[in-house]
Amino acid sequence: MLAITCPNCGERNSNEFRYGGDASIVRPSHEDPSEEAWFRYVYIRDNPKGPHREYWQHVGGCRGWLIIERNTSNHVVLGVRRAGECR
Ligand SMILES: [Zn+2]
């Protein structure tokens, strides 16, 4: 069992959470006319091995959005915080 400690609900089984995407991607400004920047934002994703920041939603609990830092090579959760908190 992979356990995730939700800041609102405490330690819960990972099956209560849904992956929401890569949290390291920064959306280009609306004023940015660069097609390359928008193409990379929409379509290009890395597949990192090691620590990685990800959005997850606690769908089986508080429904809050979280940023989880997880080591993708061994699934160890390195940190969890609410998505609205400072980066
Ligand atoms: Zn929660």
Q: What angle do CA 39, 43, 49 make, to 5 degrees?
A: 125
Domains in the chain, start-ordered, CATH in brackets? 3-26+33-82 (3.30.2270.10)
pLDDT at 87: 52
Q: What is the pLDDT of residue 86?
A: 59
Structure confidence by residue, pLDDT tens digits, 46-76: 899 999 999 999 999 999 999 999 999 999 9
Specify the pLDDT at position 78.
Answer: 96
Match 């379509």 to its residue by tokens.
43
Query: In angstroms, what is the span from residue 41 Cα to ligand 1's centroid?
Result: 28
Average pLDDT, the chain: 93
Beta strands in the chain (DSSP E): 3-6, 10-13, 18-22, 51-57, 65-71, 77-82
Ligand 1 mean position, distance from CA 19 (Å): 14
Tell me: the pLDDT tens digits for 11-52?
Answer: 999 999 999 999 999 899 988 889 999 999 999 998 999 999
Question: How many A from CA of 6 to the centre of ligand 1?
Answer: 5
